Structures are given as C-alpha cells and as structure tokens.
Chain A
Amino acid sequence: MAGLQDIRRRIRSVKNTQQVTKAMKMISAVKLRKSQERLVALRPYAGKMMEVVQRVVGRIKGDSEIQPGPTAQAFLNPREEKRIRVVLVASDKGLCGGFNANVLKAANAFVSECAAEIVHLDVVGKRAVEWARKRKMTAAGEYLNIPLTGFQHVVTEIAAGAAAQYQAGEIDALYVIYNYFNSPVAQTPTVFRVFPMALDRREDSREVPEVSHLLEPDPNSVLETLLPRFVETELLRNLLESSASEHGARMAAMDKASNNAGEMIAKLTLTMNKIRQASITNQIIEIVSGANA
C-alpha cells in the first residue's frame, strides 16, 4: 500500500521535532527561573531607590536656594524633547512566539509617532539590530549575546553615556522600549521614559512624606551621583524584565509546539493504523477468494 512507509517516516520526523521542542521548553524554564530570581532580588532595591529619589527631589523642588547642577536638572525641569536617546530591547534568538514581533511593533509605532529626533539608538539583541537595519536606522550601540551576568556592564555604559549626553545638551530624554514581565505567560511591550522622571505618576499613587533632608556633603554632589545610579538601576530592571519575558514567551511557545506535535502524532498514527488494517483486510479477502476458487 502506498503511503504506509511515508506516514511512518512522518511520524518519526514529528517525534524528533517534539523532542527538540520539549527540550527547549525545559531549558527555557530553567533560564526563566534564573532571570526571574534576579528580577525579584532587584525589585526591593529599585523600589527603595525610587522612594529615595522621590523624597530628595521633593525636597529640592521646594527649596529655591538650591541651584541644581546640569544633571540634576534632568530630575527637576524637563526640557522640551527635541532630541532623544532610545534603547530598544529584543532577544537574540527567535522561537519565542510574539515576543519580538510585539516589541518591534511598539517600536515602529513609537518611531512614527514621536515628534522628537532620535539622535542615539541603542539596540540590545540580534532581532533589534536587524530591525534597525531594515528601517535603515544607524544604531550607535549594538549589544549582542549578552549573558545575564553581563547586564550590569551594559547598563553602566548606557547610563554613563546618557548622563554625559544630557549634560552636554545632546539629548533631552532617555527612552527604553522593552517587554514588561507580567507573568511567565504574559508580556506587555512597554515604552518607558527613564528621565526626565515622570514624578506626577507616582505622587498620585503613593504618599511622599515632605521631609527636609540634609544633603551631605552638598546637594549637587549627591544629586550628580544619584542620577546615573538611578538610571542604571532602572535600565537593569528593564533588561531583566525583558530577559524574563523572553524565556517565559519561549517556554509558552515551545509548550504549545510540543502539544501540537503530540496531536499530529496521534492523527498520523490513526491514519497509519487504518491503512494497515485496510491492507490486511484486502490480503485476507484475496486469500479467501483464492481458496474458494
């Protein structure tokens, strides 16, 4: 019977694929746990940092005697956004469902809608690099195959660069486009402005006590070191969110692929059995009719 061999071969091939997707799912689960652990460990620090910055900024704003330095201005008086720096975070590898497609769609929308000129683009991950190339945008910073331990280095570089550019008046704002980690199976592409800080957003939701701080040795030197540190922390958080999202998305995609492969195998096995049964029946009929003759 034609087809029996072919179907057997297909079943074997689907089984192989299923093994690959299952293995990828397991690997993603482990990587997801690692990224998520780091993210969870960072959150208290990032939260405290945000609180401290809020308090200090609240105090500086209420005091007209303090003349903030150029970096501190980023916290206090947003300039008109004419030139901005954008960091786009995607993944190096595919096979993770809509992870890259979603964040790149958000990036497309951002680029076409934003009135400011993007003077400096940083792309993290191969997919982001390819996106920039396709859109004929030159990326000043390309970060490929960054391991979890290398994130700190990347954010230090970007934060220091951005702070210097802000001071020199080359940029007016820093944006990050990344996947926000809702849960292992849900990611939201997010556009986040790191600075100037959106203070109002928090003031409504959380009460900031109006205490007057002594800033030692003097207000400016504290602010000048606090801002790059704050930017670093927020960037690190964004990178970790994206990394956890990526592995979560891949895990979900691979789980689905394994299930689909299972279904396919069941269907093919049924067809194969039917064909085999038909051929046996045929042979019996031939033998019986031969014996009768």
Chain B
Amino acid sequence: MSQTIKLEVVTPERPVFSAEVAEVQFPTASRGYYGILPGHTPLMTEVGDGLLYYILDGQKHWLTVFGGFAEVGPDRVTILARESETVDMIDLERAEASRQRALALLKEAHTEHDLANAQAKLDASLIRLQAAGHPAGHGF
C-alpha cells in the first residue's frame, strides 16, 4: 500500500494544489475536522469553511478552503472547493481591510440576514489572516 496520498484541490477558477502528501486534515460542513492518512476508507462529504493542512516532507502547510466537496479514497483526497487559496495567494492587506469592513457591518447589522452575512465575511477574513500567520487571526 502506498505511503502517501495524492491531494488535489481544484476550484472553478483554477487548480490550486496537487501533490503527494503524507497526511491531510480538512474542515467538513457538519462533522468538524477530518484527518486523513493513507489507506483511508472511501468517503464523500461536504467541505466547510476553514483551514486545511497537509504534511509534505515532514512540514505542515496550510490552505484555505471555503465550501465544496471532498472525495477520499485509499490513496487520494480530491477537494472540489468553491474557493481555496494557498498562503502565497492571500493578500494580507485585503484580508485585514475586509476584516475591518466586516466588523463595521456587524455593528450596523439589524436583520438576521445582515448579521449572518457580516459574520460570514468576518469568518472568511479571519481564516485568511490565520492562514497567513497574522496575529488578528489567532482569536478565531
């Protein structure tokens, strides 16, 4: 049995990541985080918003994922994400600006719909900040 998993992350905009890795952990929509090692039983589930990590050459690397589906096989993990970024793709200034905007929106929000929208925006910016190692992201 192979000792690695082929991790592939694709979004409608671009293929984000593809490599043989030792371990993967990703957020699901309903069941918290799933950690996948080689030889995992086939599985299909919905992906939530959050941080995915994989271990490559003994090093932990992070990716952001926002929604979509994950398909797991014994030797592969395919993530069909709605949105996803590697740490290099994240624009720190933009994420920080978006966090400030979301905080302002949160204060003004009156209806439940507005509130949920603002909260989602805030979460997304925090996930990005955390992936990029920004101090503001650690509260998340």
Contact = CB atoms under 8 A, between A and B. Distances in A.
B133 interface: no
Contacts of A225: 46, 69
Nearest to B43: A214
B-side interface mostly: strand
A10 B64 CA distance: 62
Interface stretch (B7-15, B19-27, B88-96, B108-116): B7-15
B104 interface: no
B100 to A, nearest CB: 25
Contact of B44 (A44, A48, A213, A233): A213
28 contacts: A41-B12, A41-B14, A44-B10, A45-B10, A45-B12, A48-B8, A48-B10, A48-B80, A51-B78, A52-B69, A52-B71, A55-B44, A212-B42, A213-B43, A213-B44, A213-B71, A214-B42, A216-B31, A216-B43, A216-B44, A216-B45, A217-B30, A217-B45, A221-B30, A222-B45, A225-B46, A225-B69, A229-B68
Contacts of A217: 30-31, 45
Given A45-B10, A225-B69, 13 more contacts: A42-B12, A48-B78, A52-B69, A52-B71, A52-B78, A213-B44, A213-B71, A215-B44, A216-B28, A216-B44, A217-B31, A225-B46, A236-B12
B41 interface: yes
A56 interface: yes
Contacts, number: 67
Contacts of B41: 214
Nearest to A47: B10
A226 B69 contact: yes
B41 to A, nearest CB: 6
B15 A213 contact: no
Interface of A: 38, 41-42, 44-45, 48-49, 51-52, 55-56, 152, 211-217, 221-222, 225-226, 229, 233, 236
B42 A213 contact: yes
Interface string B30-53: 110000000001111110000000
A235 B73 CA distance: 28
Interface of B: 8, 10-15, 28, 30-31, 41-46, 68-69, 71, 73, 78, 80
B43 A49 contact: no
Contacts of A38: 13
Contacts of B44: 52, 55-56, 213-216, 222
Given A48-B78, A49-B80, A217-B31, A211 B11 contact: no
A35 to B, nearest CB: 14
A60 B80 CA distance: 20
B71 A55 contact: yes
A56 B46 CA distance: 13
Nearest to A42: B12
A66 to B, nearest CB: 13
Contact of A229 (B8, B43, B45, B69): B69
